[in-house]
């Protein structure tokens, strides 16, 4: 599913509830069991529960669980989006992985709208205006860090020693990889979910430009099927991004309090296809737990403890399973016991 359309769908009808452009810096306890969230613009907000759904770099997790770890898998992703044409539709199944030589692989997915979401929204009476994304092929070239001129961190957890990376035999790329998820339509600094930005941290300044990324992707797939080169050459320039792919290490149980975590903030995983589904499951489980509080069948902390216990259990196996794909694509073995 197209990510921007999905996000715009989720945000439909919530204009008066969601506030954009606020970056949480920290939280504090307030007498009476209240938690106060502080934002970078100096404002704050109070509530009975704070849910940290702030992604892999979660500020909430950093404060709640300072020992929780994420680590660099040593894999890099050059991501792009190319308009879908009938010829490409012929060539591609809905989803495919091309495994090339030198530990390089390409993930390809066809995104084809059955109905124009703008018309669907109208027929459902939704006030949201959807961005016209159009049908496209999403492609991601996964390569070792050395292939983009970076030293491999070898997938070790933070604080562990990492052997020096292998020398690069090709021209190294200059610039900085983006560490965070770039494919969402809205970053914390943006004003609404209807923005067309391709990333939470768009590559700017010293970062690689679109032409360099296209050139690098072509070079790294030298000798591959010409259809792959066509996809790269005709990518939408603003969609091109270089990413570092990270994972988390599942955390042990912690003492439940009125601050909790959801999605990547709790259990970021290698992008093997399950992260969003698990984040949505968290949201459903948490909603259910909070419902028992509002209906008076449970107190807050036991309800949150039930949610957290279930979430830790199913997400730990998902994190581990997703890393199998990382290993298949050339990442070092799982770094935790
Ligand atoms: C390249 C790539 C491809 C992927 N492909 C898939 C796929 O095909 N299928 C799948 O299921 N999953 C996929 N994933 C994983 C998926 O994107 C994540 O699991 C999912 O987005 C997690 O949702 P989330 O809401 O927890 O976090 P996010 O989507 O990261 O959202 C976190 C939000 O918090 C905001 N935020 C961050 N810090 C702060 C702060 N301090 N204050 C306020 N707001 C903040 C961010 O701006 C962002 O809007 C992929 C990931 C990557 C990197």
pLDDT tens-digit profile of 59-112?
999 999 999 999 999 999 999 999 999 988 888 888 888 888 888 999 999 999
Among 52-61, 157-166, 225-234, name the one with the lowest average pLDDT: 157-166
Residues 91, 212 share a domain: yes
Residues 253, 196 share a domain: no
Residue 200 CA: nearest ligand 1 atom is 47
Answer with the residue of higher pLDDT: 53 or 182.
Answer: 53
Q: What is the per-residue pLDDT for 132?
A: 81
Per the domain annotation, does 149 fall within a domain? yes
At 207, is the pLDDT very low, low, confident or very high (cuts 50, 70, 90)? Answer: low
Residue 264 CA: nearest ligand 1 atom is 26
Q: How far is the C-alpha of 84 from the C-alpha of 92, rounded, in Å? A: 10
Q: What angle do CA 237, 53, 198 make, to 5 degrees?
A: 5
Residues 309, 275 share a domain: yes
Q: Which of 2, 5, 50, 54 should be mutated for ligand 1, with most atoms under 8 A from CB?
A: 54
**What are the residues facing 78 on neighbouring strands?**
141, 242
Residues 217, 178 share a domain: yes
Residues 307/289, Cβ–Cβ less than 8 Å? yes
C-beta neighbour count of 238 within 10 angstroms = 14
Residues 189, 62 share a domain: no
Residues of the domain holding 229: 72-247
pLDDT over 50 (residue 155) = no
pLDDT over 80 (residue 226) = yes
Q: For residue 275, how far is its CA from the centre of ligand 1 (angstroms)?
A: 8
Residues 314, 187 share a domain: no
The total number of structural domains in the chain stands at: 2
What CATH number is given to the structural domain containing 218? Answer: 3.30.9
Residues 182, 111 share a domain: yes
Q: What is the per-residue pLDDT for 91?
A: 81
Percentage of the residues of the chain whose pLDDT score is greater than 90: 61
Query: Of the candidates 230, 247, 264, which is a domain's last residue?
Result: 247
Residues 64/242, Cβ–Cβ less than 8 Å? no
Q: Nearest residue CA, atom 33 of ligand 1?
A: 54
Per the domain annotation, does 3 fall within a domain? no
Q: What is the per-residue pLDDT for 135?
A: 93
pLDDT over 80 (residue 267) = yes
Q: What is the per-residue pLDDT for 336?
A: 78
Alpha-carbon separation of residue 262 from 160, 236, 249, 271, 285 (angstroms): 27, 32, 15, 17, 10
Q: For residue 298, how far is its CA from the centre of ligand 1 (angstroms)?
A: 31
Residues 54, 156 share a domain: no
Residues 270, 185 share a domain: no
Q: What is the per-residue pLDDT for 93?
A: 80
Pocket of ligand 1 (CB under 6 A): 22-24, 53-55, 57, 59, 77, 79, 181, 183-184, 186-188, 200, 243, 263-265, 271, 273-277, 279
Q: For residue 299, how far is its CA from the centre of ligand 1 (angstroms)?
A: 30
Answer with the residue of higher pLDDT: 298 or 127.
Answer: 298
**What are the residues facing 246 on neighbouring strands?**
72
Residues 99, 202 share a domain: yes
Residues 126, 260 share a domain: no
Q: What is the per-residue pLDDT for 183?
A: 38
Average pLDDT, the chain: 84
What CATH number is given to the structural domain containing 324? Answer: 3.50.50.60
Residues 218, 117 share a domain: yes
Q: Nearest residue CA, atom 38 of ligand 1?
A: 54
Query: Of the candidates 195, 224, 247, which is a domain's last residue?
Result: 247
Q: Nearest residue CA, atom 35 of ligand 1?
A: 54
Residue 282 CA: nearest ligand 1 atom is 26
Per the domain annotation, does 195 fall within a domain? yes
């Amino acid at each position: 599913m197209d990510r921007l359309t999905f996000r715009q769908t989720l945000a439909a009808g919530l204009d008066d509830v969601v506030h954009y452009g606020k970056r949480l810096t920290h939280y504090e306890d307030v007498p009476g069991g209240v938690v106060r969230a502080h934002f970078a613009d100096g404002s704050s907000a109070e509530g009975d529960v704070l849910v940290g759904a702030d992604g892999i770099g979660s500020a909430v997790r950093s404060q709640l669980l300072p020992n929780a770890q994420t680590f660099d898998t040593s894999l890099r992703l050059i991501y792009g989006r190319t308009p879908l044409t009938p010829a490409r539709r012929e060539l591609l199944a809905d989803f495919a992985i091309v495994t090339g030589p030198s530990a390089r692989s390409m993930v390809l997915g066809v995104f084809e709208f059955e109905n124009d979401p703008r018309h669907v929204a109208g027929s459902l009476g939704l006030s949201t205006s959807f961005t016209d994304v159009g049908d496209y092929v999403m492609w991601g070239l996964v390569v070792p860090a050395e292939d983009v001129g970076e030293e491999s961190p070898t997938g070790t957890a933070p604080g562990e020693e990492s052997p020096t990376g292998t020398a690069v035999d090709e021209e190294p790329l200059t610039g900085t990889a983006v560490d965070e998820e770039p494919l969402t339509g809205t970053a914390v600094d943006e004003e609404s979910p209807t923005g067309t930005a391709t990333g939470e941290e768009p590559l700017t300044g010293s970062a690689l430009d679109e032409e360099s990324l296209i050139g690098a992707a072509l070079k790294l797939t030298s000798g591959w099927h010409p259809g792959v080169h066509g996809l790269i050459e005709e990518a939408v320039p603003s969609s091109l991004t270089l990413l570092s792919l990270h994972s988390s290490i599942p955390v042990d149980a912690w003492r439940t309090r009125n601050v909790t975590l959801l999605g990547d903030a709790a259990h970021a995983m290698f992008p093997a296809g399950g992260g969003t589904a698990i984040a949505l499951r968290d949201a459903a489980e948490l909603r259910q737990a909070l419902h028992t509080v509002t209906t008076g069948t449970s107190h807050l902390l036991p309800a949150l403890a039930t949610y957290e216990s279930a979430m830790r259990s199913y997400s730990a196996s998902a994190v581990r399973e997703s890393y199998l794909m990382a290993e298949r694509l050339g990442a070092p073995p799982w770094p935790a016991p």
